[in-house]
């Protein structure tokens, strides 16, 4: 049993499933369950591919950080597939390939392999967004994604020319030994821009509005929680270990991220379409997560990624199902949605309150912890920006919730079937339970990312 099975089995299933198209979604469910079970029994450590030693071949790294990311991804894909089994049957093969690509992205320890899996996941994402039936937004996403990956590859090649290896642990060792920081500013900038396109950081995220603004119950949660979560995890791993932001580059990156937080929340405030409000809030949260990684607050950034992925799944599923039944997503047209769906309304409200960071929910504990961490490092103006952004966030979310709970002019009839409601209840309970009883959260700390340990010990 080795970690390579997490990638090889979905690939094999995908290659076989084009010959039996009708069963592809069920194969996906079986593979998802297999992956989750496998993750619980695998040991930590490096996995070699082929029998070659570290600089010669490729290897994968499974440690606590990757394990948390993989558990989150695999279970979310399993849940989303199960909920969309009837309506989006033909997407089984594409989702299997997305599963394999995202697993490989989180596990790999080699920079060129990272690029290849980034492309696999990217192309799977473009195909998932074709379910929105908006070819213009998909085309825009494809162009931006291709430019981003090319810039990333450019950076990786410059690093290879300078240091002669493509292995992440080996390269970090060589960069630290070399010590001349100014030489690596160019490749790090290019790689950061390349990943920033996929991770929705500010100047490069013009694709988000088109893709998520027209989403449905399959593409909405997939792009907004699964892809966003995994891209944040890998961006965090690269930022903490490889990119060592110092000096003027650190200032530039911090300003870009801070502007991203404010701009995201302001654009959400200015919009009246529900899906746009949710997606701009995702953009702002992605910038906050990147900011926390840059400042070294790893464990709370990881918890924030998990909390966001879970909350946004609930929120996007509720709104997308309602939009499909009613036909429009203007918040005017969705007034009174929760009058007949009280359970769904309660879970949606709990998820929203967790994103805003109100007490009794896990969002509050996370926000408190990372603001304390930032205060310890004396970043007062960053705390001020996050607090201002939270106030704006509070205003637009409360405005949305008021519209959804109180009756409008017309009667709205949207029904959620039993499996949807079960998922909502489980996630909302998790957010509530960890909000009140949060001692398990402090069992893990910043040492879950063991790449630097390997660099120093190897």
User: Between residues 164 and 296, which has the closer beta carbon with respect to another protein?
Assistant: 164
Total residues contacting another protein (rule CB under 8 A)?
63
Least distance to another protein, CB of residue 425, Å: 34
State the binding string over 33-72 for another protein (x if CB under 8 A, else -): ---------------xxxxx--xxxx--------------
Nearer to another protein, 249 or 302 (CB): 249
Q: Which of 126, 269, 364, 405 binds another protein (CB under 8 A)?
A: 126
User: Which of 61, 72, 102, 166: binder of another protein (CB under 8 A)?
Assistant: 166
Q: Per CB under 8 A, which of residues 135..154 are in contact with another protein? A: 135-136, 138-139, 142-143, 146-147, 149-150, 153-154
Among residues 353, 344, 327, 330, which one has the least CA distance to residue 403? 330
Establish if 123 lies at the interface with another protein (CB under 8 A). yes
Q: Which of residues 170-199 bind another protein (CB under 8 A)?
A: 178, 180, 183, 185-186
Site track 307-326 with another protein (rule: CB under 8 A), x = hit = --------------------
Based on CB atoms, which residue is closest to another protein, 169 or 371?
A: 169
**Could you say which residues in the range 85-114 bind another protein, by CB under 8 A?**
90, 93-94, 97, 100-101, 104, 112-113
Q: Find tokens 């920033």 and name the residue.
A: 196
249 neighbors 185 (Cβ within 8 angstroms): yes
The CA-atom distances, in angstroms, between 88 and each of 91, 149, 221, 254, 389 are 6, 29, 14, 41, 37
Structure tokens at 26: 């069920």
Contact, 344 vs 325, CB < 8 A? no
Chain residues binding another protein by CB under 8 A are 2, 4, 8, 11-12, 14-16, 18-19, 48-52, 55-58, 90, 93-94, 97, 100-101, 104, 112-113, 116-117, 119-120, 123-124, 126-127, 130, 135-136, 138-139, 142-143, 146-147, 149-150, 153-154, 157-158, 160-166, 178, 180, 183, 185-186
């Amino acid at each position: 049993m080795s970690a390579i099975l997490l990638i090889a089995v979905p690939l094999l299933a995908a290659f076989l499933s084009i010959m039996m198209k009708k069963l592809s979604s069920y194969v996906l469910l079986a593979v998802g369950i297999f992956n989750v079970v496998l993750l619980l029994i695998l040991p930590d450590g490096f996995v070699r591919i082929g029998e070659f030693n570290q600089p010669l071949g490729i290897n994968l790294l499974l440690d606590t950080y990757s394990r948390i990311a993989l558990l989150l991804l695999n279970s979310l894909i399993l849940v989303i597939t199960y909920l969309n089994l009837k309506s989006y049957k033909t997407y089984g093969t594409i989702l299997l390939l997305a599963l394999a690509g995202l697993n490989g992205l989180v596990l790999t320890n080699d920079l060129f392999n990272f690029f290849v899996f980034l492309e696999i996941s990217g192309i799977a994402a473009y195909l998932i967004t074709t379910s929105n039936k908006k070819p213009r937004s998909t085309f825009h996403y494809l162009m931006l994604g291709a430019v981003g990956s090319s810039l990333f590859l450019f950076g990786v090649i410059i690093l290879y020319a300078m240091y002669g290896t493509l292995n992440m642990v080996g390269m970090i060792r060589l960069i630290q030994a070399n010590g001349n920081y100014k030489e690596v500013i160019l490749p790090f900038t290019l790689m950061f821009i390349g990943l920033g396109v996929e991770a929705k950081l500010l100047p490069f995220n013009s694709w988000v509005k088109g893709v998520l603004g027209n989403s449905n119950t399959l593409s909405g949660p997939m792009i907004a929680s699964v892809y966003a979560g995994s891209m944040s995890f890998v961006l965090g791993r690269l930022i903490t270990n490889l990119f060592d932001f110092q000096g003027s580059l650190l200032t530039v990156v911090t300003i870009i991220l801070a502007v991203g937080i404010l701009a995201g929340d302001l654009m959400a405030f200015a919009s009246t379409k529900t899906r746009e409000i949710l997606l701009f809030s995702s953009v702002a949260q992605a910038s906050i997560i990147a900011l926390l990684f840059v400042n070294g607050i790893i464990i709370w950034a990881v918890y924030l990624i998990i909390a966001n992925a879970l909350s946004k799944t609930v929120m996007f599923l509720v709104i997308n199902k309602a939009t499909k039944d009613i036909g429009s997503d203007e918040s005017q047209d969705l007034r009174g949605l929760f009058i007949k769906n009280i359970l769904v309304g309660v879970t949606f409200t709990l998820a929203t309150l967790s994103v805003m960071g109100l007490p009794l929910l896990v969002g509050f504990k996370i926000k408190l912890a990372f603001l304390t961490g930032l205060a310890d490092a004396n970043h007062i103006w960053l705390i001020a920006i996050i607090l201002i952004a939270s106030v704006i966030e509070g205003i637009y979310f409360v405005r949305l919730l008021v519209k959804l709970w109180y009756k409008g002019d017309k009667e709205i009839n949207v029904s959620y079937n039993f499996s949807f409601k079960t998922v909502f209840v489980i996630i909302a309970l998790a957010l509530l339970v960890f909000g009140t009883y949060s001692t398990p959260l402090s069992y893990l700390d910043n040492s879950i990312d063991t790449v630097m340990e390997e660099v120093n010990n190897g």
